Structure 1
Amino acid sequence: MDKEAVLKELTALRADVPGVTETATASVDGMLLVADTDEARPDVLAALAATTLGLGKSTGHETGMGELREVVVRCAGGHIVVYAVGKKALMVVLGDEGLDVARLHVRSRTTVQNLADLVEP
């Protein structure tokens, strides 16, 4: 895996979507791959995002809604969005309260595909 290319994807997403404050990629078992963070502890963020992804996948499966794409958590101070990246990885995005989640979803489609190509060649 080309960590510099993954970091480039993360920083581009952060630059393109106002309100994105931090990003990271991890394996589905919670091992940090690459992080573009300022405040969050990257290893903890990766582990929690993997747990969130797992719960979302289980919920989607149990309800017959199909394959998970993303999980959105809205908190008093902003948003946490976890995207499935292929079968083996995830991307987590933290955003402030002003984050345009719809714009993030549109812009992230390209990022998720590019990350999938980088982490699952």
Structure 2
Amino acid sequence: MDADAAIRAELYRLRRRLPDLSGAVLGGVDGLMVACDLTAGDPHHLAALSAATLGLGHRFAQSAGHGALHESVVRSAGGCVITYPAGAYGLLTLVTYPDSNVERIHPEARAAAQRLGTMVDSMRHATTMTTTIPTVDPTAPLAVRTPMATLPADLWAETGGLRPPGLH
């Protein structure tokens, strides 16, 4: 079984074991979706928001001096969205139905996040082992932006004098 099929199978098994879940998304810490088993909503947006939410949660825990973040829980009228770290490079996000028992979900979800994290980390490691990163010349000049004030005065003449908003 390839890694993608194993990940999809794990997400499917998780939803079957936890009937309180309406969906699951596995994303990367970069906010990109890896796999999903979601009944409603946009999994790409959920993966991106999960990365941002977990990043903020990590900062909250760090600022409070509470150590490593275990999960981030967002409760709303329609249910919860819970995000767990999954290895070094993955995030498991679960969407629940209203009135779900979140405490019952945590043990199973943490175990699944650990299994999925192992898969995501090994996929990332395999990818980085075959990808060459171009070297950057540290002595190369930096790109320079031209301030609007130094552009030619007749630049906007082609548009009938219309200028971008805020430029008068």
TM-score bracket for the superposition, by shorter chain length: over 0.9
Is 1:97 paired with 2:75? no
Contact 1:18 1:99 in 2 (8 A): no
Q: Which runs of 5 or more structure 2 residues have no equivalent in the other structure? A: 123-168
The Cα shift of 1:3 comes to: 1.2
Matched residue, 1:116: 117
Superposed displacement of residue 39, structure 1? 1.0
1:65 equivalent to 2:73? Answer no
Q: Which amino acid aligns with 1:37?
A: L
CA distance in 2, matches of 1:12, 1:99: 18
Alignment correspondent of 1:36 = 37
> Counterparts of 2:114 and 2:47 in 1: how far apart (Å)?
19
Identity, % of aligned positions: 34
Q: Larger strand proportion, structure 1 or 2?
A: 1
Rg larger for? 2
How far apart, in 2, do the equivalents of 1:55 and 1:84 lie?
Answer: 13
Q: Is the 8 A contact 2:86 2:118 kept in 1?
A: no
Shift of 1:40: 1.1
Question: What is the number of equivalent residue pairs in this alignment?
Answer: 121
Deviations 1:83-115 (A, max 9, x none): 011221100000011322111101112201111
**Contact between 1:26 and 1:33, CA under 8 Å: does it hold in 2?**
yes
- Please provide the CA RMSD for this pair: 1.1
Q: Distance in 2 between matches of 1:98 and 1:13?
A: 19
Equivalent position SS for 1:120: helix
1:60 alignment partner AA? A
Name the TM-score, length of structure 1 as normaliser: 0.95
Q: Which residue of 2 aligns with 1:82?
A: 83
Q: What residue in structure 2 maps to residue 18 of structure 1?
A: 19
TM-score, with structure 2 as normaliser: 0.69
Runs of 4+ residues deviating >2 angstroms = none
